Amino acid sequence: MSVFQAIVLGIVQGLTEFAPVSSSGHPILVPWVFHWPILTNEMLNKTFDVALHLGTFLGALLYFWSDIVHYLQAWIRSIRKREIYTTSERLAWALVIGTIPGAVAGALFEDTIDTKLGQPWLIAVMLAAGGILLYVVDKVARHDRRMRDIRMRDGAVIGLAQAAALQPGVSRSGITITTSRALGIEREGAARFSFLLSIPIIGGAAVYKSFQLITGKEHIPPGFGGAFFWGVVASAISGYLVIRWLLAYLRKGDFLPFMIYRLAVAALVFILIALPGWSATIH
């Protein structure tokens, strides 16, 4: 893997982590399309994926720093008082509750996700289905609730949806925004809650994998330090920028461009699979 490839994959990761187009699917599809060898090196692929998630975590942390501090203080205050009184305390608990299903599912099904669910044909199916679902739900759902109206039971429902995003192609932000919209939360509020909800999952996975690197259970292959560094930088910058852009866009725009994009990528994958020399699976 060259530094150029690492930067491209970092940008792809940062853009797709928060845009509702599947961050877990694109880092598989891009090397598959260009025949980059990273997919055939299991150790390199896994550790580099951790590095890219660390980058998007840093980008989100930078953008939402004041929100994170605010809700963390509210959560701690609620625990000390043993009651949930303010809107901030309720939202903090909704975020905590919403984090649990994804964390549990990730821990239980990590091996299955890594070995069986990342096939191009399945990613394409999930991209198409998720894109259509996102657009249709957004069009039929009401818009009468804001992020401040989210209850703890809403957080639980959205958190269960987030667990389904472990399947590459579904999109964590896509499925959580879709679920939030189905609950009547307006677009910008749905996206903001989705992004905040993703931070503990992304950060937790990055910290866990980083600990494995530190303890020697996993390692960065020799000679790839520079590629890893620039991949993280590209992922952090692009992640920060896409959060900023998407929250502004959703104040007036809808999800039609994202559905079209997802359908186009899915169609491209199936066209490539139909051509000689291409496989629907990665071995």
Q: Model pTM?
A: 0.84
Under the banding of pLDDT at 50, 70 and 90, the label for residue 182 is: very high
Q: What is the pLDDT of residues 45-89, one digit of tens each?
A: 667 777 888 889 899 999 999 999 999 999 999 999 888 889 999
Round to whole Å and give the CA distance between 122 and 181. Answer: 25
In a domain, 283, yes or no: no
- Classify each residue of 142-181 as buried b or exposed e, where b means 16 or more C-beta atoms within 10 Å of its C-beta: eeebebebbebebbebbbbbbbbbbbbbbbbbbbbbbbbb
In a domain, 231, yes or no: yes
Structure tokens at 123: 């990613």
Round to whole Å and give the CA distance between 240 and 258. Answer: 19
In a domain, 280, yes or no: no
**Dihedral class, residue 86 (left if φ above 0, else alpha if ψ from -120 to 50, else beta):** beta
Q: How far apart are the two ends of the chain, measured CA to CA in Å?
A: 18
> What pLDDT was estimated at residue 131?
93
In a domain, 281, yes or no: no
In a domain, 71, yes or no: yes
Domain region containing 250:
3-274
Radius of gyration of the chain from its Cα atoms, rounded to whole angstroms: 19
Can you give 174-199 as a three-state secondary structure string? HHHHHHHHHCCECHHHHHHHHHHHHH
Residue 216 has pLDDT above 70, yes or no: no
Least confident stretch, 118-122, 134-138, 220-224: 220-224
In a domain, 17, yes or no: yes
Mean pLDDT of the chain: 84
Round to whole Å and give the CA distance between 72 and 40. Answer: 41
| DSSP annotation string for 13-58 | HHHHHHTTT-TTTHHHHHHHHHT-GGGG-HHHHHHHHHHHHHHHHH
Domain count, the chain: 1
Q: What is the pLDDT of residues 5-55, one digit of tens each?
A: 888 888 988 888 889 987 777 777 777 777 776 655 666 666 777 788 888
Q: Are 191 and 199 in contact (CB under 8 A)?
A: no
In a domain, 279, yes or no: no
In a domain, 246, yes or no: yes
What contacts 228, CB < 8 A, 6 or more positions away? Answer: 6, 47, 48, 51, 220
> What pLDDT was estimated at residue 28?
75
Round to whole Å and give the CA distance between 20 and 88. Answer: 26
